[in-house]
Amino acid sequence: MDIDYVAEILQGSPLAMARVITWLENEDERARSCMEEIYPHTGNAYILGITGSPGTGKSTLTDGVTWHLRNKDLTVGIVAVDPSSPFTGGALLGDRIRMTRHSEDRGVFMRSMATRGYLGGLAQFTRGAVKVLDAGGKDFVIIETVGVGQDEVDVMRVADTTCVVLVPGLGDVIQSMKAGIMEIADIYVINKYDRPGADQLFSEVRYRVDQDASIKDRAWVPPVIQTVAVEGKGEEELLEAITAHRVYLEQSGKLLEKRRDRIREETLQMIHHELFRIIRERLADNRRIEKMVEEIMDHKLNPYNVVEKVVNEWLPSSRLK
């Protein structure tokens, strides 16, 4: 018997959500029509990003924030993305998102995934997973992602509010704050505030934020929140900061702006991905690309005139030369 996955997702079925996310993960053809049908039902969830170096307490914080949201009767979807992990299917990630408190709660859906070099890009995939949870009726979707490199920055652009988690004693704060982090952080969380060096880190981050905010628009100055996630300390303040940022985005019109930018970016990426996929497949026909490579090796062709050939053949209206 055929299952109507779209209808099931719209009912909030965890099994259907999990299945379609797996299709997305495997770039299974069945994902496409499903995504197209659920799309009109997306855009209601508030998307929260939590990023930071490994072991900084992202999952513990996610668990705490989830608990507070559930107390307000809000439902939560969680996607844990690990761009650096070589593991597939995530036994490791399974451990990483230890969310024992919520495992029996139907108001919470959790999914973890490790990288497998998704052709469509990790951000693209994350966007898909978020949409499934959004259509499944989750009020909040939390994206937890490890690290502070370009992949994470891209993943975090999917979020409405991004929290960057730092802890004392890692010593790479200044460095990581240069690497695009200040650009995406709406809220800084200094977790493990029970550890030595927390006050110093707090001052350092505050200083950098103030310096940065004095040049750019001051409409939103990222707050720096102190937490001890293992004791649940500071989580309420964190949720207050998240809510304040949401109100700021909504009232200033920046939420719409963000979402417009995201739709543009996503649409362009989807076009890119699809055109590239089609051309790659056609070039694979009759090993045509292999023959081209051989001809390039023999100096009969070069990559530049191969590009010309391809564009002129398949996009004749954009004829090169």
Q: Site residues (CB under 5 A) for Mg ion? A: 58-59, 96
CA pair distance 175, 172, nearest whole angstrom: 5
Contact 118, 88 (CB under 8 A): no
Residue closest to 52 by CA, chosen among 160, 233, 187: 187
Take residue 182 and report the two structure tokens written for it.
């200040």
Question: Measured from the CB of residue 83, what is the shortest distance to ligand GTP in angstroms?
Answer: 11
Q: What are phi and psi of 85, to 5 degrees?
A: -75, 130
CB of 125 to Mg ion, least distance (A): 18
53 or 161, CB closer to ligand GTP?
53
Distances (CA, A) of 237 to 22, 100, 228, 230, 240: 35, 23, 12, 15, 5
For the record, the structure tokens of 129 come out as: 């997973």
Q: Does 303 bind ligand GTP (CB under 6 A)?
A: no
Of the candidate spans 26-34, 57-65, 113-121, 310-318, the one that interacts with ligand GTP by CB under 6 A turns out to be 57-65
Q: How far is CA 290 from CA 274, 287, 300, 311, 312, in A?
A: 21, 5, 14, 18, 19
Does position 229 bind ligand GTP by CB under 6 A? yes
> Which residue, 165 or 185, is less far from Mg ion as judged by CB?
165
- Closest distance to ligand GTP from the beta carbon of 206 (Å): 19
Among 127, 132, 131, 126, CA closest to 112: 126
Least gap, CB of 191 to ligand GTP (angstroms): 5
Query: CB under 5 to 8 A by kind: which of ligand GTP, Mg ion, none does 60 bind?
Result: ligand GTP
* Binding of residue 228 to ligand GTP (CB under 6 A): yes
* 35 lies in the site for ligand GTP, by CB under 6 A: no
Q: Please report whether residue 65 would count as binding ligand GTP according to CB under 6 A.
A: no
Q: Which is nearer to ligand GTP, 181 or 229 (CB)?
A: 229
Least distance to ligand GTP, CB of residue 75, Å = 21
The verdict on 124 binding ligand GTP (CB under 6 A) reads no
**From 37-45, 55-63, 241-249, 261-269, span contacting ligand GTP (CB under 6 A):** 55-63
Q: Is 187 helix (H, G, I), strand (E, B) or coil?
A: strand
CB of 96 to Mg ion, least distance (A): 4
Burial (0-12, 13-18, 19+ Cβ within 10 Å), 282: middle
Closest distance between Mg ion and the C-beta of residue 55, in Å? 8
Alpha-carbon distance values, 96 to 106, 110, 137, 288 (Å): 20, 12, 25, 44
- Residue 54 binding: pick among Mg ion, ligand GTP, none (C-beta 5-8 Å cut-off by kind): ligand GTP
Other Cβ atoms less than 10 A from the Cβ of 219: the count is 9
Closest CA to 51 of 30, 81, 28: 81
Q: Interface with ligand GTP includes 194 (CB under 6 A)?
A: yes
By the criterion CB under 6 A, which residues form the site for ligand GTP?
52, 54-60, 96, 146, 191-192, 194-195, 228-230
